[in-house]
């Protein structure tokens, strides 16, 4: 008798499965590895340099010329509390000028990338000039970026900020320094979280070699990699997502050159 009921039980099970699939259709799936914006948080912003933003070039992240490398003038130096020893290099923020007469009411927010550190100055009080002293969260913006959301002569304004995914055009870029026995790479144009927790390099004749964090967004390997095509394995600091960039540089790679890839975080 049991055999007669079996098909019936089987089809009700199928019905339940289909119903479950239907119910879940269209539900947003929170895919692992995709960077989610953080909550809005209060901080303050000042600016450094002049309207040319030349003072923002060559910052502590190692991006060099920000125009050449795609960051432009929408950048900020972060107080050491936010800078996180350089692991915050490349992270992106929406900033709202907040409850100051100097704010431009028609600007809802601007978006900036962290490219530099604003070091503490212990000869100034943290509420009177020592804006970047720990534990303050502070953004020392390029003057052109500051001028987009506030009157520059205010000097300092309160802001609400949140981390957002970095929208980057194209793939990761690797700028090389060093030599055949010491490779130093600056990783630029990082999408998604914008940050990096670890990198490995693989020569065409080597295994994966873990690179150590040098400073800012630069990583190094003390290994004989000269004359070999190089691939990289990069892990995001925030999302922990890992991506592979195969054959980024040809075997005749050279220090001083920047190599582009077609892969990036989202």
Ligand X SMILES: *[C@@H]1O[C@H](CO)[C@@H](O)[C@H](O)[C@H]1NC(C)=O
End-to-end alpha-carbon separation of the chain, Å?
A: 56
Which of 16, 50, 99, 124 is in the footprint of ligand X by CB under 6 A?
Answer: 124
Nearer to ligand X, 121 or 204 (CB): 121
Of 60, 64, 114, 61, the residue nearest 257 (C-alpha): 64
Minimum gap (Å) between residue 66 Cβ and ligand X: 21
User: How many positions of this chain bind ligand X (CB under 6 A)?
Assistant: 4
Residue with the shortest CB distance to ligand X: 121
CA dist 264 and 242 (Å) reads 10
Q: Does 121 bind ligand X (CB under 6 A)?
A: yes
Of 78, 32, 60, the residue nearest 192 (C-alpha): 32
Largest distance between two CA atoms of the chain: 90
**Binding region for ligand X (CB under 6 A) out of 7-15, 122-130, 171-179, 240-248:** 122-130
Which of 123, 128, 153, 252 is in the footprint of ligand X by CB under 6 A?
Answer: 123
Nearer to ligand X, 37 or 129 (CB): 129
**Binding region for ligand X (CB under 6 A) out of 118-126, 146-154, 179-187, 212-220:** 118-126
E strands present in 18-146 = 41-48, 75-79, 92-97, 110-118, 138-142
CA dist 89 and 227 (Å) reads 30
Which positions from 125 through 164 interact with ligand X, judged by CB under 6 A?
129
Task: Work out whether strand 41-48 and strand 138-142 pair parallel, antiparallel, or are unpaired.
Answer: parallel
Minimum gap (Å) between residue 121 Cβ and ligand X: 4
Minimum gap (Å) between residue 195 Cβ and ligand X: 27
Minimum gap (Å) between residue 155 Cβ and ligand X: 14
**Both tokens assigned to 125:** 């009080």
Binding site for ligand X (CB under 6 A): 121, 123-124, 129
């Amino acid at each position: 008798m049991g055999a007669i009921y079996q098909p019936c039980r089987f089809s009700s099970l199928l019905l339940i499965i289909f119903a479950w699939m239907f119910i879940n259709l269209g539900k947003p799936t929170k895919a692992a590895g995709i960077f989610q914006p953080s909550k809005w948080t209060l901080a303050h912003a000042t600016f450094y340099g002049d309207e040319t933003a030349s003072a923002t070039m060559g910052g502590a992240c190692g991006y060099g010329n920000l125009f050449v490398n795609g960051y432009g003038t929408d950048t900020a130096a972060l107080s050491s509390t936010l800078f996180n020893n350089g692991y915050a290099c490349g992270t992106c923020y929406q900033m709202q000028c907040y409850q100051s007469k100097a704010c431009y009411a028609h600007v809802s927010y601007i978006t900036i990338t962290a490219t530099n550190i604003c070091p503490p100055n212990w000869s100034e009080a943290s509420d009177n000039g020592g804006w970047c002293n720990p534990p303050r969260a502070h953004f020392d913006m390029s003057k052109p970026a500051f001028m987009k959301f506030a009157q520059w002569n205010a000097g300092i304004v309160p802001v609400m900020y949140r981390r957002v995914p970095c929208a980057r055009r194209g793939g990761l870029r690797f700028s090389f320094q060093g030599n055949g026995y010491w490779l130093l790479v600056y990783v630029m144009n990082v999408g998604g979280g914008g940050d990096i927790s670890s990198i490995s390099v693989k020569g065409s004749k080597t295994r994966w070699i873990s690179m150590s964090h040098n400073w800012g967004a630069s990583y190094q390997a003390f290994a004989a990699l000269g004359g070999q095509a190089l691939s990289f394995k990069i892990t995001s600091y925030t999302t922990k997502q890992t991506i592979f960039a195969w054959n980024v540089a040809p075997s005749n790679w050279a220090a001083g050159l920047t190599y582009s890839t077609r892969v990036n975080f989202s």
